[in-house]
Structure formats: structure tokens, C-alpha cells
């Protein structure tokens, strides 16, 4: 079993919808949680970076971390066709913050 599990989708939503993306993890040492967006044939682009539990909002994006359930989420409000991409969650432990463990990504399509 992988340390980080992510539903691969694909997920297809109409423009303007609220999108919910999720990851679960098994390593309780993870304290740093990241969400990346990756377009086809491009490198991952950091969207959100959070430490420990709680919520963080940045524009249309909200990241939530529930350490008690080992569950993290990314919400995208007012989704746009340009949001169509693969979304990757990643996490690392405070004792080895440089080593990130990634999920396999969820592919999202936002239809006009």
C-alpha cells in the first residue's frame, strides 16, 4: 500500500462548479502538505503549501488538512476550463522536509 493515496479520476465538471480533490495518507509523521497542478508535458506547479492541520485559502483555492483522519483536500471554486490539469498532492515530515511523497494525481477536466 502506498503512503499517499489519491483517486485518479478522471473528474469532469462544468465550468463554474466547485471541485473537491482529496488525498489520504498513512504516515503520521507528515506535517507539510502541498498541492501541485501539472499540465500535460510540464513540471508540477505549486498551488498551496500548508503546515500541520487547518485551512488555508488563496483566491479560488482552499486547502484543508485533517491530521486526525489523515485526510487532505483541495477545493476549487468557480472552476474554469484553464483549471483542467492533473492535481497532485504531496507531503513531507518535519524531520526530513526535503523529501516529498506524492500521490499519483487526479485528472480534472472543466467543460465550458
Partner 1 sequence: GAGVSQTPSNKVTEKGKYVELRCDPISGHTALYWYRQSLGQGPEFLIYFQGTGAADDSGLPNDRFFAVRPEGSVSTLKIQRTERGDSAVYLCASSLNSRYEQYFGPGTRLTVT
Query: Which residues are near partner 1 by CB under 8 A?
Result: 4, 6, 8, 32, 34, 36, 42-46, 49, 88, 90, 96-105
21 vs 90, beta carbon nearer partner 1: 90
Given a contact cutoff of 8 angstroms between Cβ atoms, the answer to whether 103 and 33 are in contact is no
DSSP assignment letter at 14:
E
| Opening angle at CA 45, ends 40 and 49, nearest 5 | 145
Nearer CB in complex with partner 1: 10/16: 10
Residue 26 Cβ vs partner 1, minimum distance, rounded to whole Å: 15
Amino acid at each position: 500500500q502506498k503512503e499517499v493515496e489519491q483517486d485518479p479520476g478522471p473528474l469532469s465538471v462544468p465550468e463554474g462548479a466547485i471541485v473537491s480533490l482529496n488525498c489520504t495518507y498513512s504516515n503520521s509523521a507528515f506535517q507539510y502538505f502541498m498541492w501541485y497542478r501539472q499540465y500535460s508535458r510540464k513540471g508540477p506547479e505549486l498551488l498551496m503549501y500548508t503546515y500541520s492541520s487547518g485551512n488555508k485559502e488563496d483566491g479560488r483555492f482552499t486547502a484543508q488538512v485533517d491530521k486526525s483522519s489523515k485526510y487532505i483536500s483541495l477545493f476549487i471554486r468557480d472552476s474554469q476550463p484553464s483549471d483542467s490539469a492533473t492535481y497532485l498532492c504531496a507531503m513531507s515530515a518535519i524531520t526530513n522536509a526535503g523529501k516529498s511523497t506524492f500521490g499519483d494525481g487526479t485528472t480534472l477536466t472543466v467543460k465550458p
